[in-house]
């Protein structure tokens, strides 16, 4: 009987190993250039989070969460931070928070422009979409192998893996948000003389802000998950606490790390989720100062002109 084992086996594992080895040897300056800005920003964020005293940090986080979301979420955030400190893993939590904040910055810098490009070109989206499918369906542990080969081990290579895994949701949601802008509004903007740049920055992006912030929420949660997984390659933070507890069969230590991870993830999820919540009228929530700031940036510093164009477009419907 013919069996599957009788077929010729393609040495795919050998090909991949040789390809990664070639990249590591011949393109090392390129990977060092990628690593440098991530390492610099991560070091700066880590220093800031550890330099701020605990009471000041809790109060500042409370005020920021209150400004971006609601009073209830701000109180929950402050209580969660106090509980994390009482668990004895405050420094580790700050390291994890620096990992996540750095990942958010680089995911936004890379993901939003790519999402805009995909929204403006179906050909680009048809190329990028399968790549995103592969990136989002690949198990988290698989990211660690090429990262170790190309960047080594430690917290910075772990951050590279976090950024790589957390960027796809933001790209998808940016593309989706721009494409979901009503065609009538776009046509009305064109009718009033808006060029492609004005159409993008003054109409499409401001209206897509809630969807983009929803993608940011997914990016934050993905970064939170990966910041734990990358402890396997030497990244510091709460993930390392859990890993050490498992390695020593110390259930208590692992549970403490897990509880702190859950609390931190819930805080970040609630704040970013509230930022993306629109009002009943369908407009971005006015309470979020970040949302208003981003809208003003997308409008090119000319809010009156933008409001006039969008208002005329809606009246023309």
Ranges of each domain in the chain: 11-315
The fold of 11-315 is MetI-like fold (1.10.3720)
Specify the pLDDT at position 298: 43
Instruction: Examine the pLDDT at 2 and tell me if it is beyond 80.
Output: no
Rounded CA-CA distance 123/110 in Å is: 19
Q: Specify the residue for token string 């895994």.
A: 165
Which of 193, 191, 189 is CA-nearest to residue 205? 189
At residue 278, φ and ψ (nearest 5 deg) are -80, 160
β partners of residue 232: none
Question: Which one-letter DSSP state was computed for residue 138?
Answer: S
The CB-side HSE value for 76 (13 A sphere, CA atoms) comes to 15
Confidence of residue 117 (pLDDT cuts 50, 70, 90): very high
Comparing 194 with 119, the larger pLDDT belongs to: 119
pLDDT at residue 310 in the model: 55
pLDDT for residue 295 is more than 60 = no
Q: How many residues does the chain have?
A: 317
Instruction: Find the mean pLDDT for residues 30-49.
Output: 90
Torsion of CA 97, 102, 294, 314, to 10 degrees: -90
Q: Which of 195-204, 224-233, 286-295 has the highest mean pLDDT?
A: 224-233
Q: What's the whole-number mean pLDDT along residues 275-294? A: 50
Residues 6+ apart with CB under 8 A from 278: 210, 284, 285
Task: Report, as an integer, the average pLDDT of 188-206.
Answer: 82
Give mean pLDDT, residues 247-264. 91
Residue 215's Cα: distance from chain center in Å?
Answer: 8
% of the chain with per-residue pLDDT over 70:
86
Nearest to 311 by CA among 173, 207, 201, 159: 207
Per-residue pLDDT band for 91 (boundaries 50, 70, 90) equals very high
- Tell me: the pLDDT tens digits for 17-37? 888 888 888 888 888 888 899
Q: What was the pLDDT predicted at 84?
A: 94
pLDDT tier at 303 (50, 70, 90 boundaries)? very low
Q: Does the pLDDT value for residue 69 go beyond 90?
A: no
pLDDT band at residue 282, thresholds of 50, 70 and 90? very low
- In angstroms, the Cα distances linking 20 to 15, 24, 28, 84, 110 are 9, 6, 11, 40, 23
Straight-line distance from the first to the last Cα atom of the chain, in angstroms, rounded to the nearest whole number: 70
CA 268 centroid distance within chain: 11
Predicted confidence band of residue 314 (pLDDT cuts 50, 70, 90): low
Residue 1, pLDDT score = 62
């Amino acid at each position: 009987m013919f069996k599957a084992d009788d077929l010729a086996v393609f040495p795919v594992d050998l090909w991949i190993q040789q390809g990664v080895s070639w990249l590591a040897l011949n393109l090392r300056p390129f990977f060092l250039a990628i690593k440098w800005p991530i390492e610099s920003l991560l070091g700066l964020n880590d220093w800031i989070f550890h330099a701020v005293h605990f009471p000041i940090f809790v109060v500042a986080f409370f005020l920021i969460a209150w400004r971006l979301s609601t009073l209830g979420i701000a109180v929950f955030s402050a209580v969660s931070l106090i509980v994390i400190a009482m668990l004895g893993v405050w420094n580790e939590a700050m390291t994890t928070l620096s990992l996540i904040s750095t990942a958010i910055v680089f995911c936004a810098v890379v993901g939003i422009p790519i999402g805009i490009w995909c929204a403006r070109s179906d050909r680009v989206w048809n190329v990028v979409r399968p790549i995103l499918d592969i990136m989002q369906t690949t198990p988290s542990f698989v990211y660690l192998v090429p990262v170790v080969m190309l960047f080594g081990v430690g917290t910075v290579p772990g951050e590279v893996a976090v950024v790589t895994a957390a960027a796809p949701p933001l790209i998808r949601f940016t593309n989706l948000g721009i494409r979901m802008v009503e065609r009538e509004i776009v046509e009305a903007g064109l009718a009033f003389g808006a060029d492609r740049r004005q159409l993008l920055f003054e109409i499409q992006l401001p209206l897509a802000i809630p969807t983009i912030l929803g993608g940011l929420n997914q990016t934050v949660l993905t970064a939170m998950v990966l910041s734990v997984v990358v402890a396997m390659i030497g990244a510091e933070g709460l993930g390392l606490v859990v890993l050490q507890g498992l390695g020593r069969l110390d259930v208590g230590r692992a549970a403490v790390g897990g509880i702190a991870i859950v609390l931190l993830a819930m805080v970040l999820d609630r704040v970013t989720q509230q930022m993306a919540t629109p009002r009943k009228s369908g407009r971005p929530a006015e309470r979020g100062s970040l949302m208003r700031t981003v809208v003003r940036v997308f409008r090119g510093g000319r809010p009156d002109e933008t409001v006039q164009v969008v208002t005329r477009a809606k009246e023309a419907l």
